[in-house]
Amino acid sequence: MSELGHVHHQCMLAYASDFALLSTTLKPFEMDAPDARYKLGMLVSLDHSVWFHEPFRADEWLLYVMESPRSASGRGLAVGRIYSRDGVLVASTAQEGVARGTDSEPDQKTLEFRNSVAKL
């Protein structure tokens, strides 16, 4: 990989940055817990964007910080920041998606989560 140019490293990072970003929108709903109220039916990406800020190598250590500022009404927004080992922001990401699931307590009021995790 050392002979590859910067465009190849950008392509590899763009590809890898798509794997887990949208799953951060599901964290407030605790869908991975055995006794979770909500069960995931589908999770589909509507868009995925990457902005490259500084040169980097995809074969070196990178930190990917992901968060979801908004997840409600079946849609979620996730954003990410990718840093090099020396703390330089090398790329930013954003992704919007649609989530569908089942509610084990359908008589309950639908809750919206805004920048917080709520226990049901």
Residues designated as active site:
18, 45, 95
**DSSP class of 33:** S
Q: Which CA distances in Å does 85 have to 39, 58, 82, 107?
A: 37, 12, 10, 49
Amino acid at position 119, single letter: K
Strands of the sheet with 62-72, listed across from one edge:
38-52, 89-103, 75-84, 62-72
Residue 62 CA: distances (Å) to CA of 17, 33, 104, 119: 11, 29, 39, 32
